[in-house]
Amino acid sequence: MRPSRALSWLCVFTLGAVVCSTPAAAQSVNRAAINELNEQLMYVALPLTLFVELMLVYAIYRFHNNDDPRPTVDDPALEVTWTAATGAILVFVGISGFFVLANPYISPASADSTVEAGEGIEIDVLTYQWGYEFSYGDTGVTTSETLYLRNDTDVRFTLRSTDVIHSFYIPELGLKQDIFPSQETVARTHPTENGTHRLYCAELCGSGHARMQAPVVVLNQSEYDDWLGEQQEAGTNSMSTPDANATAGANTN
């Protein structure tokens, strides 16, 4: 196969990989921000990667039989050009990353604010070896087996640990925050799709670490209100699981 044809196929395969790597629809504002940043960085990294690979292939083809190599000649204009281009790329990456890190749904420092009344819900999360306890604001409802969220609603978590370092990690929602003993940590999210996800502890917290996980069920407003009303009627500490049909047809991860 001629080198020009090989380079053409390389370009085709690279473009195909870009098309096939388009991320699926995000299930939360957090995940959407992370996906957008990854996409921006991919469009910067892909041309650079392709350029470097093409230069390597060209150098191998052009100089593989060079029996009389000569030293390269200084080219100040070329050196200034690639230095300036590298600086511009780093500035772009830095600015893009800064805006994502400053997002209150991503950064705990930016998330440390109360949810406006009527605009969201607050959930206190207490972690221990090896489980979670979720208290839903001033509703008097507490669950320990499943976390319930309302779709299209701001959620503010206040995270505490009773013993060692734990983590609050929901990959599908783009939410991850470490939880430290004797210290309150804040995290926020805003689900955009109904569905069932999985909450993990991402910090090695002892012999029961592997089983420290819980389902996360995102319901629409009417389903969430119905579930909350049922728990309040049943008692202030409810450990029951909502009807599985409530999330029928929802996205399951």
Question: Each residue of 9-56: pLDDT tens digit?
Answer: 555 555 555 545 555 567 888 888 888 888 888 888 888 888 888 888
According to the model, what pLDDT value does residue 103 have?
83
E-strand spans in 61-174?
A: 120-128, 131-135, 142-143, 147-150, 154-161, 166-170
* pLDDT tens for the 253 residues of the chain, in order: 455 555 555 555 555 555 455 555 678 888 888 888 888 888 888 888 888 888 888 888 888 887 777 777 788 888 898 899 889 888 988 998 888 888 888 886 665 555 554 468 899 999 999 999 999 988 889 998 899 999 999 999 999 999 999 999 999 998 899 999 988 999 999 999 999 999 999 999 999 999 999 999 999 999 999 999 999 888 745 444 444 344 333 444 3
Task: Find where tokens 């511009």 sit.
Answer: 88
Phi, psi of 144 (to 5 degrees): -130, -10
According to the model, what pLDDT value does residue 133 have?
94
According to the model, what pLDDT value does residue 148 have?
94
Strands 147-150, 142-143: pairing is unpaired
Beta-carbon contacts of 130 under 8 Å, excluding residues fewer than 6 positions away, are 201, 205, 206, 208, 209, 211, 212
According to the model, what pLDDT value does residue 146 have?
92
> Would you call 147 exposed, middle or buried from its count of C-beta atoms within 10 A (0-12, 13-18, 19+)?
buried
Find the helix or strand (DSSP H, E) in which 149 lies.
Answer: strand 147-150
According to the model, what pLDDT value does residue 165 have?
94
According to the model, what pLDDT value does residue 66 have?
77
CA distance 159 to 42: 33
Residue 210: other Cβ atoms inside 10 A: 11
- The pTM (predicted TM-score) of the whole model is 0.70
CA distance 24 to 194: 15
CA distance 165 to 178: 7
